[in-house]
Structure 1
């Protein structure tokens, strides 16, 4: 009988290597910003070769995206945000105002996780690679906002003014604008609001918007 090859140990080692690279990249990005981190400097700090960085994660843009994804999720699991229990719990509410407050708390949590990273990145928005990365992140956030609003529509319903395809799209656009990490950065980091004050402000805006 032919023996089967168990490569689980190799896969676990590869995952540990990748996790170490991403964790080191997060430290470098938060400490020195986007421009200061190169694949070479990351490899040196992580104690691996540049080729290992490319093989495990990818180039600089892929590394930054991996850091962003992990900070956003709060872990390195590959579960989609819309499939996580914390997101599904948003819809276990009685009405739209309750959803607005729950969603504001969710946005505050995510913005608090990734806000420091985005602050380190936004200063280099003219970098072409970074601009593409930011565009990808923005599109992902729009998809997440769409899941939230369509979930609200399907479970609780929306005001009449947001009925129809155009009304729904305009509502998603508005919520996507309100939940921007840039709003969080402006109010919390630049203007000194507490995260609690930001959450209360966002909840109020959403209550007014959702009716």
Structure 2
């Protein structure tokens, strides 16, 4: 009987909750320090001190600083949820493809773009600065850019399949427009530099996407 118990292993809900609490404390500390100090100036030992844990605990959970940054990024992208579900598989992305009206699809896309930019821009600035000094972060950003382009291509293909794209637009051209108009640099220019509210930006972007991509309403 004792051997059977050992074979099944022992799970302690208390220890699991403590481990999850520690993980979240590390992620919170890392996000604060990355945002305030920058990636290069933040050491894993700094994160450990900020979180109130040992350096060994941080390394056990995340191994390297780039991996820790990546987990912080995914959690920020998801709105505080500690997972790495791809953007294309999230419920707020699926709504774009489920909408019956292409204008509604692009309104939802503008909503998503604005929502995500509000979450990630402080951390994105950290990553952009880090990429200049860290090859691993630079490669990560390049991969993320490729994934973003693929997501825009999926939207363009969806609109084309429904016969909604402007007659003169090919899918690659529509993808380039989406990639450009939904890029974080445009959000940074209008919201962070020119002082637009995110709500104004979202409304403007939705209208712009609809005008540039969709067939005129007859």
Same-fold call, TM cutoff 0.5: yes
Aligned residue in 1 for 2:64: 59
Paired residues for 1:26-105 under 5 Å: 26-74=31-79, 75-105=81-111
How far, CA to CA, are the matches of 1:143 and 1:62 in structure 2?
A: 23
Query: What's the CA shift for 1:73?
Result: 0.7
23, 28, 38: which is aligned to 2:28? 23
Deviations 1:56-78 (A, max 9, x none): 12311111111111111111134
152, 155, 161: which is aligned to 1:148? 155
188, 205, 211: which is aligned to 2:191? 188
Deviations 1:132-165 (A, max 9, x none): 2321321232233233333444456433334xxx
Select between 24-33 and 168-177 the one with higher mean Cα deviation: 168-177
108, 111, 114: which is aligned to 1:108? 114
Q: What TM-score do the two structures reach when normalised by structure 2?
A: 0.82
Query: What's the CA shift for 1:99?
Result: 1.9
Deviations 1:93-142 (A, max 9, x none): 34322222221111000111101211233334411333223213212322
Change (3 A) 1:31 1:156: farther
Query: What's the CA shift for 1:12?
Result: 4.7
Between the two proteins, the alignment pairs up a number of residues equal to 207
Aligned residue in 1 for 2:11: 7
Secondary structure at the aligned position of 2:168 is classed as helix
119, 123, 129: which is aligned to 1:123? 129
Secondary structure at the aligned position of 1:6 is classed as coil
How far, CA to CA, are the matches of 1:172 and 1:146 in structure 2?
A: 5
Q: What TM-score do the two structures reach when normalised by structure 1?
A: 0.84
Q: Which has the higher contact order (CA 8 A, sep 6+)?
A: 1
How far, CA to CA, are the matches of 1:195 and 1:37 in structure 2?
A: 30
Structure 1: state its 5+ residue gaps: none
